[in-house]
Amino acid sequence: MHRLKINTTLARRILTGFIADQIAKAGAKGAVIGLSGGIDSAVSAYLSVEALGAKNVLAVRMPYRTSSESSMTDADAVIAELGIPAVTAPITDMADALIHQFPDMSDVRRGNIMARMRMIVLYDQSAARSLLPMGTSNKTEFLLGYSTLYGDSGVALQPIADLYKAQVRQLAQDIGVPKQIIDKPPSADLWEGQTDEGELGFTYNDVDQVLYLLVDERYTVEQTVSEGFDASFVNSVWGRVKSNHYKRTMPNIPKLGSRAIGHDFLYLRDYTGR
């Protein structure tokens, strides 16, 4: 895990600077964050407060009927510690209105609906208060496609998306996130008893190391296996990275004109001129 060690002081400086810069460029008053009670949203909230000030960060709790009480308790602890304004918008009624129309719906489909309902709430509060929706996804989730397209991935900024889960934990310890949040099993809280590692089928500890070698160090699958990892595991991880690449890009657009968006008309996110 030594390869994943980061300079947390430098990371904080870069990420808080990024948040402040992006909010200013957008002309927004601050940020709105869906606070789940987990480590990723907690770190995103702490960074946002450090960058923008507590009064300019809104926390939104969006519990579903199966959400654990501990998730709400941990979210409340972050809100109290940071002194940020907060609202609670339960999504049970709005999600169940759709879920009950399809009795055979799987847990994954229900989870996707909940994630998208939560993003609807965040964007509503964004519009109402001139705040940018802040993402809470880490690099591990992004690479594996462990997110809901236009749900938790549908945000304006992703401040921790270049940090693997292990690195988010390091930053959480440095920035002062409550210990019970750092230590508890990661969970999207999409259904009762759900955990990230249980759903993924492997631990963040293992997959972070494999992803770092494959992506950051540009190792081949064979080179990664030679580091002592199981070949089937490495192949499975790399397969997920490739098959979920569409979640990390704009939708494909067929080229018809001289300057098609995504082909020839290519500019950075904050482009404002010709």
pLDDT > 90? residue 231: yes
* Average pLDDT along the chain: 94
Mean pLDDT of 7-34: 98
Query: Can you tell me the distance from the alpha carbon of 43 to that of 182, in angstroms, rounded to the nearest whole number?
Result: 10
Q: pLDDT > 90: what percent of the chain?
A: 84
Q: Out of 3.40.30.10, 3.40.50.620, 3.40.50.2300, 3.40.50.720, which CATH number does the structure's domain 2-200 have?
A: 3.40.50.620
Q: pLDDT > 70: what percent of the chain?
A: 98
Phi, psi of 103 (to 5 degrees): -60, -25
Can you give the pLDDT at residue 197?
76
Can you give the pLDDT at residue 188?
73
Residue from 83, 6, 1, 74 nearest 41 by CA: 74
Mean pLDDT of 11-35: 98
Length in residues, the chain: 274
The widest CA-to-CA distance across the chain, in whole angstroms, is 55
Min mean pLDDT across 32-46, 48-62, 112-126, 245-259 is at 245-259
Measure the N-to-C terminal CA separation of the chain; round to a whole number of Å.
45
pLDDT > 70? residue 201: yes
Can you give the pLDDT at residue 274?
60
Q: At 101, is the secondary structure helix, strand, or coil?
A: coil
Hey, where are the domains in the chain? 2-200
Per-residue pLDDT of 117-149, as tens digits, reads 999 999 999 999 999 999 999 999 999 999 999
